[in-house]
């Protein structure tokens, strides 16, 4: 009974902490009335979208994309320093927190929409279905980010036995939560995508609404889930489906639009703010990342700006223009990696070089294409990893790619102090927040 009371208090506290923004957030657990009309449920989902944490962007600080050497705003730096050097045991009180509670808040809204789908008034059946489909996708995506922050990576554990995160599949705030296994969480994510696919019916949203899930986002999401699971056959099938249906790429030799811009031809879903404004100016681009961009690679000049002899800043971050969850280049790289692991070297090379054509000067590209065609499987694997790093840097992928692949040793230096994340270090997985465990002891660490 004591645990149940703590659990109720924790979830209601989440709801109370967010009710100031919108009347529709005064939902039943805090004594108000649920929305009824299609517009009211749309407003509720809009609030859920706006509440999604920027944690994939914040995880950039844990990866090897940034260095903190140089002159930064000390107040902002203090918010990120402990994240950057993996100090999870005793971080400074000013350190920003990853958004454990907010994910469950978003899921509360998603569950409320799902449960009330058939009771929505003043809406067509297609509109009701679309709202519920988006809610299923939101719930799946929140669980996906949570399990990839707070649980061992699927590819480096026994998924059937390793503790994951609590699944929240209903709006009952009295339910006592415990941690599901990693395998259970992934199974639930895929089940929710399947349910969403039956309901989603909007292929393309108008400008200003492209943060909402559309029909193509189901297979885009599946491709990423299967990639993270190391299920190469399914990752390949879904990634190639996305490329076949939405294979447009920005040609950086001629286009001035960055590929992760919400108006880019590559955009599929522009939902997440990945690098918030307070992150700008805190760190500079790691010189080791810059060294991966070779002569003739247009990304070097278009993704970055050198501001001094020792400092380079990223240009593809920091504003709502660069909201990006899925874009087409990701799926060329997923198809290439999956094909490689399926021993299909021809298609691995094909999808990698199709992307490279749009990133390198025409006079230089044939040299690099010839190198790719001559690579062994191990060499090509490393090249695909490097190409993911070059292409998707500062878009919330690198930390998760490190987790699911090599879990390599990382070394960082700040003001003469060296910090090391060992290979396969336990800090590749975040600790569940102590306040969450205090409120629900069933979430205790393994």
Those residues with Cβ within 8 angstroms of residue 101's Cβ, 6 or more apart along the chain or in another chain: 14, 17, 433, 436
Rounded Cα gap, residues 294 and 203, in angstroms? 37
SS3 at position 379: helix
Domain 205-418: assigned CATH number: 1.25.40.390
For the segment 252-275, what is each residue's pLDDT rounded down to a tens digit?
999 999 999 999 999 999 999 887
pLDDT score for 439: 83
Distance in angstroms (rounded) separating the CA atoms of residues 111 and 136: 8
Write down the pLDDT at residue 43.
95
Name the pLDDT band for 218 (thresholds 50, 70, 90).
Answer: very high
Strand 311-314 to 304-308 pairing: antiparallel
133 pLDDT tier (thresholds 50, 70, 90): very high
- Label residue 446 by pLDDT band (50, 70, 90): low
Residue 314: enclosing H or E segment and its boundaries? Answer: strand 311-314
- Tens of pLDDT along 14-47? 444 443 333 322 333 333 457 999 999 999 999 9
Mean pLDDT value across residues 299-318: 92
Rounding to the nearest 10 degrees, give the CA dihedral for residues 217, 221, 223, 227: 160
Question: What integer pLDDT is reported at residue 443 of this predicted model?
Answer: 84
Look at the block and give the residue holding tokens 């923004």: 21
pLDDT digits (tens, 9 = 90+) for 134-182: 999 999 999 999 999 999 999 999 999 999 999 999 999 888 889 999 9
Is pLDDT at 112 greater than 60 in this prediction? yes
Average pLDDT, the chain: 90
Q: How many CB atoms lie within 10 A of CB 297?
A: 20
Q: What is the pLDDT at residue 304? A: 96
> To 5 degrees, how large is the angle CA 306–CA 312–CA 317?
110
pTM for this model (two decimals): 0.92
For range 90-105, the mean pLDDT: 94
For residue 111, the model assigns a pLDDT of 97
Domain regions of the chain by residue span = 205-418
Least confident of 256-260, 283-287, 382-386: 283-287
pLDDT in tens, 391-413: 999 999 999 999 999 999 999 99
Q: Residue 13 pLDDT more than 50?
A: no
């Amino acid at each position: 009974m004591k645990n149940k009371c703590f659990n109720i208090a924790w979830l209601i506290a989440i709801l109370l902490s967010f009710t100031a923004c919108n009347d529709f957030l005064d939902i039943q657990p805090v004594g108000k009335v649920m929305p009824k009309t299609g517009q009211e449920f749309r407003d509720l989902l809009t609030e859920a979208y706006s509440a999604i944490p920027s944690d994939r962007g914040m995880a950039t600080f844990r990866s090897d994309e940034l260095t903190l050497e140089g002159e930064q705003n000390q107040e902002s730096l203090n918010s990120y320093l402990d994240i950057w050097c993996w100090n999870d045991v005793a971080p400074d009180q000013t350190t920003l927190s990853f958004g454990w509670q907010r994910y469950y808040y978003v899921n509360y809204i998603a569950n409320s929409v799902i449960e009330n789908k058939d009771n929505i008034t003043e809406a067509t059946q297609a509109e009701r279905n679309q709202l519920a489909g988006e809610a299923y996708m939101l719930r799946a995506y929140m669980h996906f980010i949570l399990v990839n922050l707070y649980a061992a990576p699927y590819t480096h554990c026994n998924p059937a036995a390793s503790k994951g995160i609590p699944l929240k599949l209903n709006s009952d705030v009295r339910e006592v939560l415990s941690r599901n296994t990693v395998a259970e969480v992934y199974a639930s994510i895929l089940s929710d995508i399947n349910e969403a696919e039956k309901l989603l019916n909007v292929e393309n949203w108008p400008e200003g609404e492209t943060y909402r899930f559309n029909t193509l986002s189901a297979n885009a999401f599946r491709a990423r889930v299967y990639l993270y699971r190391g299920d190469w056959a399914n990752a390949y099938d879904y990634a190639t489906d996305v490329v076949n249906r939405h294979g447009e790429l920005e040609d950086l030799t001629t286009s001035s639009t960055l590929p992760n811009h919400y108006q880019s031809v590559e955009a599929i879903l522009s939902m997440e703010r990945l690098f918030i404004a307070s992150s700008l100016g805190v760190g500079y681009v790691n010189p080791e990342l810059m060294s991966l961009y070779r002569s003739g690679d247009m990304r070097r000049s278009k993704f970055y700006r050198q501001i001094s002899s020792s400092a380079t800043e990223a240009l593809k971050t920091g504003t709502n223009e660069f909201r990006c969850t899925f874009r087409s280049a990701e799926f060329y790289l997923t198809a290439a990696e999956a094909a490689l692991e399926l021993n299909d070297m021809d298609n691995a090379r094909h999808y990698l070089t199709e992307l490279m054509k749009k990133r390198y000067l025409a006079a230089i590209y044939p040299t690099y294409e010839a190198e790719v065609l001559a690579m062994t499987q191990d060499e090509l694997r490393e090249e695909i990893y490097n190409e993911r790093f070059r292409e998707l840097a500062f878009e919330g992928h690198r930390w998760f790619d490190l987790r699911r692949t090599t879990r390599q040793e990382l070394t960082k230096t700040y003001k003469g102090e060296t910090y090391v994340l060992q290979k396969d270090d336990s800090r590749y997985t975040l600790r569940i927040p102590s306040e969450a465990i205090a409120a629900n002891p069933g979430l205790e660490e393994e």
